Chains A and B, each alone.
Chain A
Amino acid sequence: MRFRRFQTRVVVFVVGLLMFLSVATFIAVSVAVTRNARAQIRDELAVGGKVFERLITARTQQLADAARLLAGDFAFKTATASGDRATVLSVLDNHQARVAADVMQLVSLDGKILADTLHREGTGKAPPLTLPDDPGLRSGRRQDPSTIAMIDERPYQMVAVPVLAPLPIAWITVGFIIDDAVAKDLQMLTNLQVSFLGRRSDGGFAALASTLPAPMRETLLRRLSGASDRGDTTLSLQMGDGEYVTLVRSVGGKGNGGIIAVLQRSLDEALRPYQRLQLVMLTLTAAGLILSLAGAVVIARRVTKPVLTIVQSARRVERGDYEHSVVVDSSDEIGDLARTFNTMTKGLAERDRVRAELERVGRLKRFLSPQVAELIVSSGDEVMLASHRREITVVFCDLRGFTAFGEQAEPEEVMNFLHDYHEALGPLVFRYEGTVEQFTGDGVMVFFNDPIPFPDHAARAVRLAVAMREHVATLTERWRQYGHTLGFGVGIAMGFATLGKIGFEGRFDYAAIGSVCNLSARLCGEARDGQILVSEPVFAAVQSIAEVEEIKPVTLKGFAQPVRTFNILKVKDAG
């Protein structure tokens, strides 16, 4: 699976990273915790085992102390010395009740039971615990003989002390039964499950006392049956609700009839706090993942949303829509990108605009001087090029003898000449800011006051005509040296005309239609070489700046009346 979207990638990366870290942490912590818990359980069990042994020792000591007190009782000694069994039994009963023991026996120094509170008739048997021959015991400096022994298939914690008068005259043994209550007591103190098991003659075990519930006792017996007498061992048993770390201690007897204490700690129980911890960790991890997922989505969105906006804008720009700018309200890299994009879009828009403008200017320059064209374009007001009516001054000029020249001369020469001619006239037209209506061959038509209005349009026309006459005179002089006789005539008229763009998109001209155009053409036609013939309104407009001579009115084709005609001699100062 490939994540094409940046947002998805960011989310997958962030969440994946966090998940990896979380899972790694979780596993590491879990492993450490479990290992720690197991070690702790073993420690607890070892400590519990020591506590257990200490408790047993303490109980034995307590028993022995009680027994010794009883044995030291003078009345007891007296009764014992009496040799009367009924009396002895009676005193044993009495003293057994004093210390709340469960069995009490009087044993002769040669190891025969003389009286037994449990077996009141039977005597002469060996006591349930081994008594030393050594009479040194009366010193009390040695440990009193003690064990956990079976009497009638029930375990008793037994201790023997000598009866001193003041030399030992007998032993008394005192026993406390070990039952579930004792196991319970030990459990409370050791925090371990405590069981006492007796080995049966068939090698199996019988539960003597236990804190375990009945079914678990059975399980324990089954698990341990067949186990050899290994003394003190630690093992792990699978029982009922889980694993139990188990400590086996031999507490009495050996082989058949031997008694073992089984101390157990449930691993599950010990692990429970850690499991809670694990649950908390899982919850936190999950919460962290959800939060980071949300956070990653938000962050990714924050990144991708403006990017998407920019992408949309870029598509718009691609379609040529520069008007839309990206709105990204941030100061980071994305904000920078958006701002740069906007700047770029503006740049593109500007470039297009300039290009379009240049195009228009280029178009306008066909008939307008560059500065006028730029003026119009920059004003953006091309409306002035729409068809309208206005008073203009039209300058029409052409060459005398050009037709003959064209026929006589080589086309290259003609072209050269026209080149020089146009090159001479063009700049002049532009200088006086005239509008070119026609600029082909030898005939040139220029008008003033449109599209840019000039109050002195007539004066400009006259000044242009004078300047052209001067320049063309230089040219014709030169060409005369090549043997070509060329003259230059100009006609100027002033009046209303209809003006406007004609042609089609990409190729249009600015045309003036009206009799004033015809009049100027006719006047030009009437003009001899070097003459600038103007109509009366022109004369009226320029008489203050020009020296003019009136020539006889001319009758012009298309005009009913003869027209008053004036020839411009010179202008007072070239303005």
Chain B
Amino acid sequence: MAAAGSLEGVVRTEDGKPVGDAVVSVVAVSGSRPATRAGRAVVDQQDKEFVPHVRAVTVGTEVTFPNKDNIRHHVYSFSPAKKFELPLFKGEHSAAVKFDQPGVVVLGCNIHDWMLGYVVVLDTPYFDTTGADGHAQIKDIAAGAYEVHVWHPRLVNGAAPDTQRVTSVDGKKQRVEFVVRLNPDLRPPRPPSPTPGDRYR
């Protein structure tokens, strides 16, 4: 068994701007799937936004949705990968939702139309989400043949030929670059705050 390697994914747009909130995952091409650890993850609600906007988890992960606002939220998803609903709740101790199927789960809040979040459920332990610099770091990848996938909420389907790439990982650090095209951000606008201080936060 070869030494474990690491991979740096870099995601940018055609005009070179770094893309954040992109999920770079490394999936074994064949053979044994690396075991995933069913961990725990958190998607906060802060200032009526999901934080982080995109949360990648492995299959079986239980995600909690702590509400850090002083108002209730009503988190739901109608995505086939996970349909759930957390009716109006308050406080940081929400029930945990177990994401047991791979796929993209779109999060919404029933009372705040603009709130949009994603839980990307992956069937691999190797993944990371790019930061604002467009870089993702994936470590401790067992040697083998892998496909590297990139996903972004606004990714134009089929527009980026290199969203997948077969690569073999060995002891060295791999660097994979993705040039992607994104749809414009068309989230519904937030209504203007009633007062400049926004006392409902």
- A109–chain B nearest beta-carbon distance, Å: 13
- Given the interface pairs A74-B110, A138-B188, A139-B189, the reply to whether A166 lies near B116 with Cβ below 8 Å is yes
Q: List, in ascending order, chain B residues with CB within 8 A of A141's CB.
A: 189
Q: Which residues of A contact B78 (CB under 8 A)?
A: 77-78, 81, 165, 169
Among B78, B107, B110, B189, which residue has the most Cβ atoms of chain A within 10 A?
Answer: B78
B43 interfacial contact with A, CB 8 Å: no
The interface residues of chain A lying within 8 Å CB-to-CB of B115 are 166
Cross-chain contact of A166 among B108, B184, B189 (Cβ < 8 A): B108
Q: Which of A78, A81, A136, A164 contacts B113 (CB 8 A)?
A: A164
Taken together as a complex, chains A and B put the C-alpha atoms of A139 and B189 apart, in Å, by 7
Interface string of B179-193 (1 = CB under 8 A from A): 000011011110000
Mask: chain A, 541-563; 1 = CB below 8 Å from B; 0 = not: 00000000000000000000000
Q: How far is the CA of A139 from the CA of B116 in the complex (A)?
A: 12
A140 within 8 A of B: yes
Within 97-123 of B, Cβ neighbours of A (below 8 Å) are at: 106-110, 113-116
Given contacts A77-B78, A165-B106, A166-B188, contact A72 B83 (CB under 8 A): no
How many residues belonging to B are interface residues under a CB distance threshold of 8 Å? Answer: 20
Contacts of A136 in B (CB 8 A): 184, 186
- A138 and B106: CB pair below 8 A? no
**Which of A135, A139, A165 is B108 in contact with, Cβ under 8 Å?**
A165
Contact (Cβ within 8 A) A167 B116: yes
Residue of A nearest to B83 (CB): A81
CB neighbours of B188 from chain A (8 A): 138-140, 164, 166
B186 adjacent to A135 (CB under 8 Å) = yes
Q: Nearest A residue to B85 by beta-carbon distance? A: A78
Is A72 a contact of B186 with CB atoms below 8 Å?
Answer: no
Interchain CA distance A167-B106 in the complex, whole Å: 8
CA distance in complex: A72, B77 (Å): 14
Tell me the nearest residue of chain B to A74, going by C-beta. Answer: B110
Nearest residue (CB) in B for A73 is B110
Closest to A81 in B: B78
Distance, CA A135 to CA B188, complexed state (A) = 12
- Majority SS of interface residues in chain A? helix
Inter-chain contacts of A169 with B (CB < 8 A): 78
Interface magnitude class on chain A: 10 to 19
Closest to B184 in A: A136
Report yes or no: B106 in contact with A166, Cβ–Cβ below 8 A.
yes
| Bound Cα distance A136, B156 (Å) | 13
| CB neighbors of B among A66-84 (8 A) | 72, 74, 77-78, 81
Q: Contacts of A72 on B, CB cut-off 8 Å?
A: 113
Map CB proximity to A onto B38-63 as digits: 1 under 8 Å, 0 otherwise. 00000000000000000000000000
A166 surroundings in chain B (CB, below 8 A): 106-109, 113-116, 187-188
Give every chain B residue within 8 A of A167 (Cβ-Cβ). 106, 116
| Across-interface contacts of B184 in A (CB, < 8 A) | 136
Nearest CB in chain A: distance from B184 CB, A:
7
* A139 touching B113, Cβ below 8 Å: no
**How far apart are the CA atoms of A141 and B189 in the complex, in Å?**
9
> Distance (Å) between the CB of B151 and the closest chain A CB?
15
Q: Which residues on the B side are within 8 Å of A135 (C-beta)?
A: 183, 186
With both beta carbons as reference points, the residue of chain B lying nearest to A134 in the complex is identified as B186
Q: CB-nearest residue of chain B relative to A139?
A: B186
Contacts of B116 in A (CB 8 A): 166-167
Q: Which of B71-85 contact A (CB under 8 A)?
A: 74, 76-78, 83
Bound state CA distance, A165 and B82, in angstroms? 13
Closest to B79 in A: A165
CA distance A140 to B113 in the complex (A): 11
Residues 518-550 of A, flagged 1 when their CB comes within 8 A of B and 0 if not, give: 000000000000000000000000000000000
Cβ contacts A74-104/B at 8 Å (1 or 0 each) = 1001100100000000000000000000000
Distance in Å from the Cβ of A214 to the closest Cβ of chain B? 49
Measured in the bound complex, the distance between the Cα atoms of B85 and A74 in whole Å is 11
Chain A residues positioned under 8 Å from B108 (CB to CB): 164-166
Q: Which residues of B contact A81 (CB under 8 A)?
A: 78, 83
Q: How far is the CA of A144 from the CA of B77 in the complex (A)?
A: 25
Check A139 against B187 for contact (C-beta < 8 Å). Answer: yes
B52 to chain A minimum Cβ distance, whole angstroms, is 16
Shortest distance from the beta carbon of B156 to any chain A beta carbon, whole Å: 11
Q: Which residues of the partner chain B approach A138 to less than 8 Å between Cβ atoms? A: 186, 188
Binding site for B on A (CB under 8 A): 72, 74, 77-78, 81, 135-136, 138-141, 164-167, 169
Q: A141-B189, A165-B78, A166-B107 provided; 9 other pairs, C-beta below 8 A?
A: A72-B113, A77-B78, A135-B186, A136-B186, A138-B188, A164-B188, A166-B109, A166-B114, A166-B187
Q: Which residues of B contact A (CB under 8 A)?
A: 74, 76-78, 83, 106-110, 113-116, 183-184, 186-189
> Which 5 A/B pairs are nearest by Cβ-Cβ distance?
A166-B108, A81-B78, A136-B186, A139-B186, A165-B78
Residue contacts A-B, CB under 8 angstroms, 15 given: A77-B78, A81-B78, A81-B83, A135-B186, A136-B184, A138-B186, A138-B188, A139-B186, A139-B187, A140-B189, A164-B113, A166-B114, A166-B115, A166-B187, A167-B106
